Structures are given as structure tokens and as C-alpha cells.
């Protein structure tokens, strides 16, 4: 009886122990990662295939990156154009959306009343509305209404900025809530104007959030498909995602895999730099900002 109770008690304590390893959850997590990443890894592996097949590995080479004189990414003008256009859209959208988002966040944080609440709601709509609805709506605007915008690079940038603006606003507003008002108040007590306190104290403390927003917007834009596809104006304005979609239905070579792998590498590099930059900029930003301002005074 004592042995049975001990075993039973051991089983009960094992199941109720909050510090035991969650083996089932770990297995589910690793299974999900394998299910998600294995197809991507296989597609990236075939970008190094020495033959034209995308289903049978015939050796490893860099043929489809730069080795083939006419079909590789380096030598095919259509693939080059798609890659360049993708980065152009990413850079232009980031340069426009992030400063607008930071200004929007600062204004909404300080402006009270029904009107700013309505603006905030309209901004959040672009965050929660499905992208297909946003893309179709923007397509209707640039093709049916009499506006200076047209399908092409300009229309794609405006559509992407409209869709991406909510990301820096939400990230910067969350950072503003954690910072609070006391740093600005300390700066004004030391003689700074309201604008000077924002420029010399608050903005340096927002650098981690601004940097994270920049990386997030850029990484999301270069992977975008719906908006850029709806607002493209032919092959000259097709980014990588649209190029892969249009070409994959034919008989593509592994150069398409190489193009997708380059885009994946760019996204991973941007995310890694964003994480490292955020950690670096987050070190003692509040204390260093106010101490730097006090030293200048």
C-alpha cells in the first residue's frame, strides 16, 4: 500500500510539477518549424542545382546565381529588374512610412479628443483590414477615380505606405507608453523648450522603436505580393514576389529558386540586423539621453 501510494504520489507530483520539461509542447513546436521551414530549405537547396531540374538534384553549383551566361540571376535582365524593383519599393516605402508613422504617433500621443481618436481608428483600420481588400480598394482608386496616381511604381509606393504606416505608429506609441512623461518634464525643467525636449531627449529614446519599425517595414515590403501585384503596370514594375508567381506557372529554371533565395536572405539579414540594432540601442537610452542633455546645458 505504501509503495502504491508513493508511486501514485510520484505520478501526481510529476504531472503537477510546473518546472518539468514540456516535452509535448516542444515536440509540437519542432514539428511546426520542420513543417514550415523544410519546404523553404528544399527550394533554397535546388537553387544550387547544377542542372535545369527543380525536382532532381544533379550536383551543386552557383550556375543559377551567376554561372549561366543567359539564365542566371546575374545575367537575366528580367530577374535583375524584379530584384532591383523590389529593393526600390522597400527603400522608398521605408523612407516615407517610418517618418510619417513617428510623427503620427507623437501627434496622437499628445492630441486629445474625438478627432484624433477618429484618426487613430482610421490608421488601425489599415492594420486589421485584410490586405486583399486594401489592394483591391487601392486598385480601384488608381484606375477608376480621377487622381494623379497611376498603376506603377508611384501607385505601388503609395499603396505600400498606406498599408505599412500602422506598423511604426503602433511600435512607437507602445514605446511612448513605456517611456512616460518624466524625461520630457526633466528636460523642460532644465530649460529646454517643448520642441527641444522632443528632439534632444525623446527622439533619442525612441531610436530603438524607430529602428525596429524601419526593419519591420522594409522586411514586410520586400515580401509583399497582393498590393504590388494589384498596382503593377507590366513586367517593368513586377517585384520578386509577383515575378515568382507569374513565372512559376510555366517551365521555370532553378534561377527562380535562386531569386527567391536571395529575397529570403535579404529578409533574414534585415531581421537579424534589426534585432541586434534594437538590443544595442536599448542599452541605457533613457539615462544617457537626459544626462547628455544636462551636460550640454
Q: Which three cell numbers stand for residue 256?
A: 527562380
Closest CA to 165 of 117, 217, 207, 229: 217
Which DSSP string corresponds to 195-240?
HHHIIIIIHHHHHHHHHHHHHHHHHHHHT--HHHHHT--SGGG--H
Instruction: Kindly report which listed range (57-61, 85-89, 146-150) carries the lowest average pLDDT score.
Output: 146-150
| Domain assignment present for 86 | yes
| Domain assignment present for 278 | yes
SS3 state at 23:
helix
The pLDDT of residue 294 is above 60: no
The answer to whether residues 14 and 20 touch, using CB atoms and an 8 Å cutoff, is yes
C-alpha distance from residue 246 to each of 89, 154, 158, 168, 280 (Å): 19, 21, 23, 31, 41
| Domain assignment present for 61 | no
| Domain assignment present for 35 | no
For residue 5, the number of C-alpha atoms closer than 13 Å in the C-beta half-sphere is 2
Q: What is the pLDDT of residue 14?
A: 47
Angstrom distance (rounded) from CA 147 to CA 141: 8
Question: What percent of the chain has pLDDT above 70?
Answer: 86
Q: What is the pLDDT of residue 2?
A: 47
Q: CATH no. for residue 209?
A: 1.10.3720.10
Q: What is the pLDDT of residue 290?
A: 47
The pLDDT of residue 258 is above 80: yes
Contacts of 167 (CB under 8 A, 6+ apart): 97, 101, 127, 213, 216, 217, 220
| Domain assignment present for 244 | yes
284 falls in which pLDDT band (50, 70, 90)? low
Angstrom distance (rounded) from CA 201 to CA 220: 30
| Domain assignment present for 60 | no
Helix, strand, coil abundance in the chain, percent, nearest 5: 75, 0, 25
The C-alpha cell 506598423 sits at 167
The pLDDT of residue 65 is above 50: yes
Q: What are phi and psi of 49, to 5 degrees?
A: -70, 135
Residue 276 lies in domain: 73-296
Q: What is the pLDDT of residue 94?
A: 95
The residue with greater pLDDT, 260 or 113, is 260
The pLDDT of residue 67 is above 90: no
The pLDDT of residue 7 is above 50: no
User: pLDDT tens digits, residue range 111-168?
Assistant: 776 776 777 777 777 777 888 888 888 888 887 777 777 888 888 999 899 889 889 9
Q: Which three cell numbers stand for residue 246?
A: 507569374
Question: What percent of the chain has pLDDT above 90?
Answer: 14
| Domain assignment present for 5 | no
The answer to whether residues 100 and 165 touch, using CB atoms and an 8 Å cutoff, is yes
Angstrom distance (rounded) from CA 51 to CA 49: 5
Q: Tell me what the mean pLDDT of segment 252-276 comes to.
A: 88
In the chain, the number of structural domains is 1
The pLDDT of residue 288 is above 60: no
The pLDDT of residue 18 is above 70: no
Q: What are phi and psi of 39, to 5 degrees?
A: -60, -35
Angstrom distance (rounded) from CA 254 to CA 43: 9
User: pLDDT tens digits, residue range 201-249?
Assistant: 788 888 888 998 999 999 999 988 999 988 988 878 889 989 888 887 7
| Domain assignment present for 109 | yes
Angstrom distance (rounded) from CA 49 to CA 53: 8
Average pLDDT, the chain: 81
Closest CA to 104 of 112, 92, 116, 86: 116
Q: Tell me what the mean pLDDT of segment 272-294 comes to.
A: 66
Q: What is the pLDDT of residue 192?
A: 67
The residue with greater pLDDT, 229 or 23, is 229
Angstrom distance (rounded) from CA 185 to CA 199: 13
Amino acid at each position: 500500500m505504501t509503495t502504491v501510494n508513493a508511486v501514485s504520489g510520484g505520478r501526481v507530483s510529476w504531472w503537477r510539477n510546473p518546472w518539468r520539461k514540456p516535452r509535448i509542447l516542444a515536440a509540437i513546436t519542432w514539428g511546426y518549424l520542420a513543417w514550415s521551414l523544410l519546404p523553404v530549405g528544399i527550394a533554397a537547396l535546388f537553387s544550387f542545382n547544377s542542372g535545369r531540374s527543380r525536382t532532381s538534384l544533379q550536383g551543386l553549383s552557383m550556375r543559377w546565381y551567376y554561372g549561366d551566361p543567359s539564365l542566371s540571376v546575374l545575367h537575366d535582365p528580367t530577374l535583375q529588374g524584379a530584384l532591383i524593383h523590389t529593393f526600390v519599393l522597400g527603400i522608398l516605402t521605408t523612407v516615407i512610412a517610418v517618418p510619417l508613422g513617428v510623427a503620427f504617433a507623437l501627434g496622437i500621443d499628445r492630441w486629445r479628443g474625438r478627432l484624433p481618436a477618429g484618426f487613430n481608428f482610421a490608421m488601425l483600420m489599415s492594420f486589421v483590414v485584410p490586405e486583399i481588400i486594401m489592394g483591391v480598394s487601392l486598385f480601384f482608386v488608381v484606375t477608376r477615380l480621377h487622381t494623379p496616381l497611376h498603376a506603377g511604381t508611384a501607385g505601388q509606393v503609395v499603396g505600400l505606405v498606406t498599408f505599412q504606416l500602422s506598423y511604426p505608429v503602433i511600435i512607437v506609441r507602445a514605446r511612448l507608453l513605456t517611456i512616460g512623461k518624466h524625461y520630457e518634464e526633466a528636460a523642460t525643467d532644465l530649460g529646454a523648450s517643448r520642441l527641444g525636449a522632443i528632439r534632444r531627449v525623446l527622439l533619442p529614446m525612441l531610436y530603438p522603436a524607430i529602428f525596429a519599425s524601419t526593419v519591420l517595414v522594409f522586411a514586410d515590403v520586400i515580401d509583399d505580393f497582393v498590393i504590388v501585384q494589384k498596382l503593377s503596370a507590366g513586367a517593368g514594375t513586377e517585384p520578386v514576389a509577383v515575378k515568382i508567381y507569374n513565372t512559376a506557372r510555366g517551365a521555370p529554371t532553378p534561377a527562380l529558386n535562386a531569386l527567391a533565395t536571395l529575397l529570403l536572405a535579404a529578409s533574414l539579414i534585415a531581421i537579424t540586423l534589426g534585432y541586434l540594432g534594437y538590443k544595442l540601442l536599448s542599452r541605457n537610452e533613457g539615462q544617457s539621453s537626459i544626462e547628455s542633455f544636462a551636460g550640454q546645458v
